[in-house]
Amino acid sequence: MAKKTYDLLFKLLLIGDSGVGKTSILFRFSDDAFTSTFISTIGIDFKIKTVELRGKKIKLQIWDTAGQERFHTITTSYYRGAMGIMLVYDVTDERSFENIVKWLRNIDEHANEDVEKMILGNKCDIDGKRAVNKDRGEAIAREYGVPFLETSAKANTNIDKAFNDLATAILDKYAGKEPGDAPDRVMVDPRRGDTSRRSCC
Ligand X SMILES: Nc1nc2c(ncn2[C@@H]2O[C@H](COP(=O)(O)OP(=O)(O)O)[C@@H](O)[C@H]2O)c(=O)[nH]1
Interacting residue ranges for ligand X, rule: CB under 6 A: 16, 18-24, 36, 38, 40-41, 67, 122-123, 125-126, 152-154
Greatest CA span in the chain, whole angstroms? Answer: 86
Query: Considering only 81-89, 155-163, 169-177, 180-188, which stretch makes contact with another protein by CB under 8 A?
Result: 180-188
Residues contacting residue 81 through CB under 8 Å, at least 6 positions apart: 11, 112
8 A C-beta contact, residue 121 and residue 162: no
CA 110 – CA 41 distance, rounded (Å):
21
Q: Map residue 71 onto helix, strand or coil.
A: helix
SS3 label, residue 122: strand
- Is residue 177 a contact residue for another protein (CB under 8 A)? no
190 binds, among another protein, ligand X, Mg ion, none (CB under 5 to 8 A by kind): another protein
Residue 20 CA to residue 147 CA, distance in Å, equals 18
Residue type at position 134: K
Q: Shortest Cβ contact with ligand X: which residue?
A: 21
Amino acid letter, 140: I
Among 12, 23, 97, 119, binds Mg ion (CB under 5 A): 23
Under rule CB under 8 A, residue 195 binds another protein: yes
Q: Is 154 helix (H, G, I), strand (E, B) or coil?
A: coil
The pair phi, psi for residue 82, each rounded to 5°, is -75, 135
Residue 23 or residue 158: which is nearer to Mg ion going by CB? Answer: 23
Closest distance to ligand X from the beta carbon of 25 (Å): 7
The count of residues interacting with another protein (CB under 8 A) is: 43
Binding site residues, another protein, CB under 8 A: 1-9, 11, 30-31, 42-50, 57, 59, 61, 66, 70-71, 73-74, 77, 184-188, 190, 192, 195-197, 199-201
Binding site residues, Mg ion, CB under 5 A: 22-23, 41
